[in-house]
């Protein structure tokens, strides 16, 4: 559960496939050794496909709170200098608008 960090970027892959990507910020609050409250923000790249991507495109906007369920997927590649790079993203299965104005949305398999 977090806040959408930017408006989704949506691409039509072919006649039947669409992908929507957006960053989601999650926060963790804890106390350090001195008892000071510390807030840590993590950024996650979230991806939804097809019908769910249509709904993301229509309703998801920067700043809204969103609950996302999915699986973490990793990928690796070599950059121009030959250095191996890695990335992780959440391949979304469903999401819920936290503001309570919209219902749960599930990806059709």
pTM: 0.81
| Bridge partners of residue 22, in order along the sequence | 46
pLDDT per residue rounded down to tens, the chain (109 residues)? 999 999 999 999 998 999 999 999 999 999 999 999 999 999 999 999 999 999 999 999 999 999 999 999 999 999 999 999 999 999 999 999 987 555 455 555 4
Closest Cα partner for 87 from 77, 96, 95, 97? 77
Output helix, strand, coil percentages for the chain, rounded to the nearest 5: 10, 60, 30
Task: For each of the domains in the chain, give its residue range(s) and CATH number, in order of start.
Answer: 2-30+39-102 (2.40.50.140)
Instruction: Name the DSSP letter for residue 63.
Output: T
């Amino acid at each position: 559960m977090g806040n959408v960090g930017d408006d989704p970027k949506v691409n039509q892959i072919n006649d039947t496939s669409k992908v929507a990507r957006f960053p989601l910020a999650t926060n963790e609050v804890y106390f350090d050794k001195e008892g000071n409250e510390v807030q840590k923000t993590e950024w996650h790249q979230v991806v939804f496909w097809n019908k769910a991507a249509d709904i993301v495109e229509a309703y998801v906007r920067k700043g809204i709170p969103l609950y996302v369920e999915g699986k973490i997927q990793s990928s690796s590649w070599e950059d121009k200098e030959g250095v191996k790079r890695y990335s992780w993203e959440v391949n979304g299965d469903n999401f819920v608008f936290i503001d309570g104005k919209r219902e749960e949305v599930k990806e059709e398999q």
